[in-house]
Structure 1
C-alpha cells in the first residue's frame, strides 16, 4: 500500500479543462501539468495572447503550488534550437554556485518539459560543438538524441555567459567564460574542467566570448566600482577600487579613468591583449552559436559609451569602429547590470538581427570592413531581451520581465517568451535613436571622426556646438554605399562658442557619416535620428476597445494588482473610482492555470498594491513632474486627467520589465531609465512611449503578459479581455510592446502660461524627446526678447541657444520647428521681467 501511494506521489498528473469566455476561433483552453514530488516536470496549453503562451512562463523555482523561496531575478538567458526543439534556461541575479532555476525544453506543439537535473545558477552561454555534435548551454551538454549531462558548479563555479571554440585543442575542448572573468577549458567528452585564469582582465560583469581569426575575444560590460565614474573622480581608482589588479594578465598603463569601463580583449591561447576599455556585450560572427572550425569570418562586438552604441569589427586581424544611436538609455549605467544579453543572431530567411539599447536593427551577415552597407533600424522596443532565435518559422524572443529587485509590487520573479514574425517586430516602437560623434571633447585637426550610422532613418540631424573661443570649420563626409568611398557633403562654419544644427535632406542616400575638423578644438556633435512614420491611434483602436476612454461616462472596472509570492496567481483588488477616490469593492485572485477570477486573496503581501506614490501635478501650463532635486514639465494629453483620475487613484510608476520602469502620467506612458535599483529614475532621460487617452488605473507584468485595468464594465470577453462570471471584475491582457499601438505621443503645454517671469531666469525644462510635429506660440505683455534653449544630449549638462525671438507687447508669435527637428528638452528665458506664455503643440 505504501509503495502504491509513493508511486502516485511520484507521478501526480493534473489535467484542467478551462472555459474562459469567447476565445479566438472559439477555442477552449486545455492545460495539462505533470508533477513529481511537488515539482512541475512538464506543462502544455494552447492559450496564446499577443504572441505569448502563458503556460511557458518560467520562475525562480518549479513548485506546483507556486510558493516562492529565493532568487530575485528570473530572466531567460539563452535560447538554442537543437534536435528540432527549443532549449532555454533562466538565470538568477548572482548565483555562481547554482539555484533552483531550470533548463527547459519546448517541442513544436508547445509542450514544455523541465529538466529534472537542473542546477540553475546565472547562465547565458550557448554553443554547438561541431566535432562532438553536442549543444553546450550553460552547465549542460546535450547530445544529438537529447541526453543531458551536467557540469556541476563544484567543478566549474561561476555565472556562465559565453562558450567558445578552443584555440589549441578545438576537437576535444571548449572555453567557458563567466561574469567574474574566470576562464575555463572543458573536455567535451568527459566534461572534465580546468580553470585557466581566475580574473585576468579589468572590468566586471563578463558577457561575450567568441573564437575567430585565431583568437578568443571576450568582453565585459561594467565596473565593480561604478560610482567612481559617475562623479568623474578617477584620482583614487587604482588604490581603492582595484586591489585585485595583481591577477590581471595585461599591461596596467592607461587602464584607469572615468571613461575606462568594461573591456573588449583578445586571448591568443597564452596571453591577453586589451582592444578597448569600453562596455561590451555580445561577441560573435555570422555563424553564431553554430561555431565552425577555423572561423575566419569578420567578428562583431557590440558595446557602448556615453556617446553611442559601439560596433567593433575584427576583419583580417584588424579592428574597426562604427557608431550607432541609442533608442533608450536604460542600458547606460556603468555597472552594466541592465544590459543582459543583447545579441546579433540569425532570424531565418537569410536575415540577421541586432538588438542593442532598445533598438532592433537589420544586420547583414556580409558586414565587414570592406562592405559596411546594410545595417538598418527596424524599430524600438520596451521588452528586456536577453536572447532571440528563429524556430519553426517564427522569431522567439526571450525576456527578463518581472524581477523583485527593489520592486515591492511583485512577489516573485518570472519571465516568458514571445512568438511572432519579423514584420511584427518592425511594427512596435519607432525607429528613433540618439547619440553623439563628439561630446564636449578635444578633437585633433584634420583627423576624421569615427563613422556614425545614418542609413534607414527618416529624419536625420546633427547639433553642433563649438566650446572654444575661436571659429572653426567642420567638414561633413558621407559614405553612400558602405564601400569606404567618402565624399564631402557640406562644411559647417561655427563661430566662437556658436551653436548650429544641420538637417539632412530626406532624399539623401548614405550609410555612414563622419566629421573632419579643420583645426583642433573642443566640440560637440550630437546626432538625432527620428522616425517620421509614427503610429496613429487608429492602429490600436480594436485592440484596446475594451479600455475606457478618459471621457467615457459609463461604469468602469478598476483594480490594483499584485504578482503573488505564495502562489502563481495575480491578486486583484477590484473597485471603482468615484469622488476622486479608488473604492475597493472586493478581493479576487486571477489564476495562472485556469485564467479566471476566484474569490479571496490568499497572499497577505498583496496589500502593498493599495499604496501608491504620486510624482506629478498639473497647472494651467503643463503637467509638473516632481523629482527629488528638480522638477520637469510635460505636455498635457487629451482630456483633463486631474479631474477624471485625480492623484492617488491611478498607478503612476511601476517596474514593467526587469529593472525598467514605466510611468502613466496624464494619459501618456513614459519609459523611465534607472541608474540603480531602488533609486529614483533618471527622469531627465525619459522618453514618451504612447498617448493612450484611457482610464488606465493600473498596469503590471504577470505570467509574461502586460495587465491593464480600466476596462469598461460592458466589455465582452475576448483574446485580450477576461471578465468574471458576475461581470464585476475585468482585466485587459496583452504584450508590453502592444502599448505602442495606442498611438504616437501627442500633447500641448509649456513652461509658461500667463506666467510672471524674471529677466534672464531659465524656465523649467519642458520635454521634447519623441514627439512628432512641433510648433511654438509665444506671447508677452511688454516688448521683450525670448531666447529658446534646447538640450541636445543627455550627457551635456548645459543647453545651447536655439534662437532668440523679438516680440512686441500683446503680439502672438508662432514658430514652427522644421520637419525632422529633434531635441530632448527645452528651456526659455526673457531679457525683461514680464508676463509670458510659451505654448508648445505636439501633433
Structure 2
C-alpha cells in the first residue's frame, strides 16, 4: 500500500508573480506556484479512488488564459526511480503545447517539470543499454535528470518508441500519429527523419520491435472523416488518392472496410499485414523492451465485426476475435480509441483494455497456447494507460474535454487508484461481436477463432441469406492448444434464422465455424454476464440522492467545470411549475472543497443555456428547427403510456420506463438529458436510468442505436458532470450530512454528490418495463418502433389484443446489420394475455413487432 503523510493545508488565493507557498487550516492541499502556475502540489483527500489534487489541466494556471485547451488526456504512465512519471496531451499539437510532464512520489506529492513542452505524446519505453526512460519528448536517466527533445528536431504527436533494428545500443525508433518514422540517438538526442508518411491509413498508434522486425499501426482513415462508416457498401476507389510517399504496393489497399493498418518494417522495406484499425502493439516485455526479443508479439485492433487480436509468433501471423463491450471506439476516423493497451499490472499478471472491457491477458499467450484470456468487466472511464505502482493499480483517464462540449470550460483529467479486484465490481462482463456479417463464406473454410471463455451466457444468431439450407459446423478449442473438435452441427434453413444458446456448463476457450457449402451468412455473437450488480452497495453510496417518489426537499442544481479558474460552478435551484428556476450561485473550490458565494466565471452560464449542437439536439431536451429533421418539432425525449421515446433525427426509439412517471416529477428540460462525461463519450439520464451514448463525431447527434444501459437509479438527479477527476451529481436531499461523497454549504441550501464515474454501476443493474404498444391502434403489417433489449437481465414479454391476430417478434442482433430478423410468432386470441419468458442467456440489441391484423394491442416487455 502507498504511504500516507499528514500534509499542511492550503487554499490557492491570488497568485503573485514570484514563488509562493499558500496554506490554510481548512483544506487538505499544499500548493507551490510560480508566475501564476502550479509547480508542485500535494494532498490527502481521496474520493472513490481519486485524489483531486492530482488533476492535470491543459495549462495549470488559475487565470485560465491558455492557447491549447481542447483536450487533456493522461497519455502515458511509467515507473522510474521509484516514482510515477506521467504526461498529458493536447488534441492535435505536433509542435508542442502547455501540457506537462508530472512526477509523483510515493507520498503522492506531485511535481510539474518546468521544462515541459507538451504536445500530443503517449509514447513510453525503457532503453536498456543506456538505462533511460523515454516518455514523450523526455529522456530521463537513472538519477532523475531530464533531457528534452525539442519539437523543432522531432515534430509530431509522439506515440510509440521501439528498439532499433540496426544499432539498438544507440538508437530507437519513434513513430508519430501523422505517420512519420524517426530514429533518435539516446546519447546526444540527435534525430533523423526516416519517412514522412510511408503507409496508408492515418492516426498512428502502436510500434514495437520483435522477431527481427518493427511492427507499426494506425487506427483511422483520413479520407473517411465524417463520411465513411464501417458498413458502407459503395466504396469508390476514385475517392481515395494514392500518396507517392507510401512505401507499399497499391494492390488491395482501398475497398470496403479497409481502414487503418498493421504493417511490418524490416529496416528497408514495408509490408502490409492487414488493412484494419489497430492500436497497441507489444510483447510480454512491454515498455521494458529487451534486446533481440523473439517472444510472441500482440497487436490489438477492430473492425465492424469484432475486436481483433493479431499474434506474430515465430515469424507468422495469426488472428483471434474478441467481443466489444462498447461501441464508443468504433468510428473509422480512429479519434476515439486513445490508447487501449496490453500491459503488466504486477503480481505476474497482464491486462488488456479494449473497447470498454478489461481482460486478463496471459503473458504466455502464443499461437500454440491461446488459453487464459478472460473478461474482468466493462467500464465507462476513458483509459489511455494503466500501471501497477506503489502497491496499487492506477488508471489514467481522458476525462473532461471541450471539443464541441459547451458544458465544460477547460479540459482536465486525473488518475484512479485502486485494486485489480475492484475492476470486476464495475460494469458487467457483457460484450458483442460477429464472426460473419452478411458475407460470402467459402465451403469448409474455418473461420477465425472467437473467444467464449469466461462469459456466463453465450449465444449466436445465425442468418442464411441464400436459397439453399446450410449445415453449419461449430468447432471448439477446449484448452487453447489448437485441438479443434466438433461441438455441434446446425441446419440453417434457406433464407432462414436460427438462434443457438450454448449450455451454461460448456468449457472451452474458442469457437470457430465452417459451412458445408459456399453461402452468404451472418453469425452474430452475444456474450452476457449472469452476475449483474444487485445495487446493495449503491443503496448506501447514493442514499443522500433523493428517490423519484420521495417528497423530501431537494437541492437541485446545474453544474459547470470552470474555464477561468479550477472551481466548479453550481447554479442552485428548484423545479417550479415544470421548469428549473435558478436560485443562489456558488463556486465549489478545488483546493478546500468549500462553497463560495457567487460565480466568478462568466462562461459558466452555458450550463443554463439550452445549447444546440450542429442544429441537432440540445443537452437538456430541445431540438433545433430544421427542414431536414423530420422530428424537429419534437423534444429529444418524451414519455407516453408505453415507454420513454427518443426522437432522433432520422428515427424513433423506445426505452423501458422506471418505477415512476418521471415527466410529472422532472419534466422534460428540467433535468440534464445528455452530457459528455468522459472525453468524446456521453451519458444520457432519462426515466431513472443512465445510458452510454456512443458518438460518431463530437458535436453530432449520438449513435442512439448503439446505446447501452448502465444502471437504473430512480433518483431525482438534475445534472451530472465530471470535474477534478470526479463524477458530480446534483439532486441531494436538503439537510444531508457531510461525508466522503456529500458536500454542503453551511446552511445546507446547496449540496452535491462526488464520486467516480464507474460508481454509476453500483446503482444496480438496469431494469424497467414498457413496450412499443400499450392499448395502441396497430395497422396490419406495420412495424412497431424499435424497443431496447441490450444489457437487460431477465426478460419477459406480455401480449394482448382485442381481436384474433398473429404477432411476430423481430430482433436486431448486430449494430452493423440494419435488418429486423423474425424471431418468434405468437397467435393471440381476443383479450387473452400471452406471457413469453425469454430463455436464460437470450440477448438482442433491439426488438420490433408486427401484427397480421388491424387491432388494439399491448406489447409489454418486463426487464427484472
Q: CA deviation at 1:237?
A: 5.4
Residue aligning to 1:649? 670
Q: How do 1:381-460 and structure 2 match up within 5 A?
A: 381-460=379-458
Match of 1:798 in 2: 819
CA distance in 2, matches of 1:536, 1:151: 51
CA distance in structure 1 between the aligned counterparts of 2:415 and 2:731, rounded to whole angstroms: 26
DSSP 3-state at the match of 1:606: helix
C-alpha separation between the residues in 2 aligned to 1:254 and 1:312? Answer: 19
Q: Quote the Cα distance in structure 2 between the aligned partners of 1:663 and 1:738.
A: 16
**8 A contact 2:230–2:332 mirrored in 1:** no
Partner of 1:582: 580
Given candidates 195, 205, 208, the residue that maps to 1:207 is: 205
Residue in structure 2 matched with residue 230 of structure 1 by the alignment: 229
Aligned counterpart, 2:241 = 242
State whether structure 2 residue 860 is matched by structure 1 residue 839: yes
Quote the residue 1:673 is aligned against: 694
Secondary structure in 1 matching 2:760 = helix
Does the CA-based 8 Å contact 2:800-2:834 persist in structure 1? yes
User: 1:628-658 deviations in whole A, cap 9, x for unaligned?
Assistant: 1111000001111111111111000000000
Tell me, in whole angstroms, the C-alpha distance in 1 between the residues paired with 2:212 and 2:419.
36
2:374 is matched with 376
Tell me by how many angstroms 1:184 deviates. 0.3
Q: Tell me how far apart the structure 2 counterparts of residues 663 and 758 of structure 1 sit (CA, whole Å).
A: 32
1:503 aligns with 2:501: yes
Q: 1:69 Cα deviation (Å)?
A: 3.9
Alignment of structure 1 residues 157-176 onto 2, 5 Å: 157-176=155-174
Secondary structure of 1:225's aligned partner? helix
Q: Does 1:14 align with 2:31?
A: no
- Partner of 2:340, secondary structure, is coil
Residues of 1 paired with 2:53 and 2:236: CA distance? Answer: 48
Q: SS in structure 1 opposite 2:605?
A: helix
Residue 633 of structure 2 is matched in structure 1 by none
Runs of at least 5 residues in structure 2 that lack an aligned partner in the other structure: 1-14, 611-619, 622-635
Q: Secondary structure at the match of 2:422?
A: helix
Name the residue aligned to 2:849. 828
Find the aligned partners of 1:237 and 1:248 in 2 and give their Cα distance. 20
Matched, 1:774 2:773: no
Partner residue in 1 for 2:291: 293
Q: 1:117 to 1:507 in 2, by over 3 A?
A: same
Deviations 1:779-803 (A, max 9, x none): 1111110000000000011110001
Partner residue of 1:3?
none
Aligned to 2:325: 327
Cα pair distance change 1:457/1:128, threshold 3 Å = same
Equivalent residue runs for 1:242-391 within 5 Å: 242-243=241-242, 245-391=243-389
- Secondary structure of the structure 2 residue equivalent to 1:541: helix
Inter-partner Cα distance in structure 2 for 1:788 and 1:258: 32
Q: How many angstroms does 1:258 deviate by?
A: 2.5
- Counterpart among 698, 708, 713 of residue 734 in structure 2: 713
Q: Say which SS state the counterpart of residue 748 (structure 1) adopts.
A: strand
**Cα distance in 2, alignment partners of residues 30 and 805 from structure 1:** 64
State how far apart, in whole Å, the 2-side matches of 1:353 and 1:601 are. Answer: 44
Q: CA deviation at 1:16?
A: 3.0
Q: Distance in 1 between matches of 2:123 and 2:116?
A: 15
Equivalent of 2:216 in 209, 215, 218:
218
Q: How does 1:758-769 map to 2 (within 5 A)?
A: 758-769=779-790
Q: Is the 8 A contact 1:67 1:567 kept in 2?
A: no
Corresponding residue of 2:632:
none
CA distance in 2: counterparts of 1:666 and 1:17, whole angstroms: 43
CA contact (8 A) 1:228 1:234 kept: no
- In structure 2, the residue matched to 1:686 is 707
Aligned position for 2:614? none
Which residue does the alignment assign to 2:716? Answer: 695
The equivalent of 2:613 in structure 1 is none
* Distance in 2 separating the partners of 1:747 and 1:490: 36
CA distance in 1, matches of 2:748, 2:178: 53
CA contact (8 A) 2:472 2:490 kept: yes
1:690 and 1:740 in contact (8 A); partners too = yes
Specify the SS of the correspondent of 2:650: coil
Cα offset for 1:564?
0.8
CA distance in 2 between partners of 1:17 and 1:488 (Å): 71
- Displacement after TM superposition at 1:239 (Å): 4.1
1:115 matched to 2:97: no
SS class of match (2:25): strand
Q: Give the equivalent residue in structure 2 for 1:25.
A: none
Q: 2:828 aligns with which of 779, 795, 807?
A: 807
Q: In the aligned structure 1, how far is the partner of 2:758 from the partner of 2:227? A: 35
Change (3 A) 1:780 1:599: same
Report SS of the residue matched to 1:246.
Answer: coil
The 3 A distance-change label for structure 1 pair 544 and 232 is: closer
C-alpha separation in 2, matches of 1:706 and 1:406: 20
Where in structure 1 are there 5+ consecutive unaligned residues?
A: 1-6, 19-28
Secondary structure at the counterpart of residue 244 of structure 2: helix
Distance in 2 between the 1:353 and 1:8 partners?
Answer: 45
> 1:414 offset after TM fit, Å?
0.5
Shift of 1:287: 0.5
Say whether the 8 Å CA contact 2:230–2:257 is kept in structure 1.
no
Q: CA RMSD in A?
A: 1.2
Structure 2 CA distance for aligned equivalents of residues 68 and 583 of structure 1: 33
TM-superposed CA distance for 1:810, in Å, is: 1.0
Q: Deviations over 1:687-729 (max 9, x none)?
A: 0000001000000000000000000012100001101011100
Match of 2:477 in 1: 479
Report the alpha carbon displacement of residue 65 of structure 1 after superposing the two structures with TM. 3.7
Q: Alignment length, in residue pairs?
A: 826
Match of 1:424, SS state, is helix
Q: Output the CA distance in 2 between the equivalents of 1:235 and 1:718.
A: 57
TM-score by length of 1: 0.97
Per the alignment, do residues 167 and 354 of structure 1 end up closer, same or farther by CA in structure 2, a change over 3 Å counting?
same
| Distance in structure 2 (CA, Å) of the matches to 1:625 and 1:734 | 28
Measure how far apart 1:10 and its partner are.
Answer: 3.5
The Cα shift of 1:62 comes to: 1.9
CA contact (8 A) 2:237 2:255 kept: no
Which of 529, 533, 536 in structure 2 is aligned with 1:535? 533
Shift of 1:15: 1.9
Q: Offset of 1:68 from its aligned partner?
A: 4.4
Q: State the Cα distance separating 1:53 from its structure 2 match.
A: 0.4
Aligned mates of 1:455, 1:800 — CA distance in 2: 27
Contact 2:230 2:331 (8 Å CA) reproduced:
no
**3-state SS of paired residue (2:743):** strand
**Cα offset, 1:230, TM superposition:** 2.3
**1:344, 1:352 within 8 Å by CA — same for their partners in 2?**
yes
Where does residue 81 of structure 1 map in the other structure? 79
SS of the residue 2:28 aligns to: strand
Correspondence list, 1:568-579, <5 A: 568-579=566-577
Name the residue aligned to 1:744: 765
Instruction: Please tell me whether the aligned partners of residues 68 and 90 of structure 2 are also in contact (alpha carbons under 8 angstroms).
Output: no
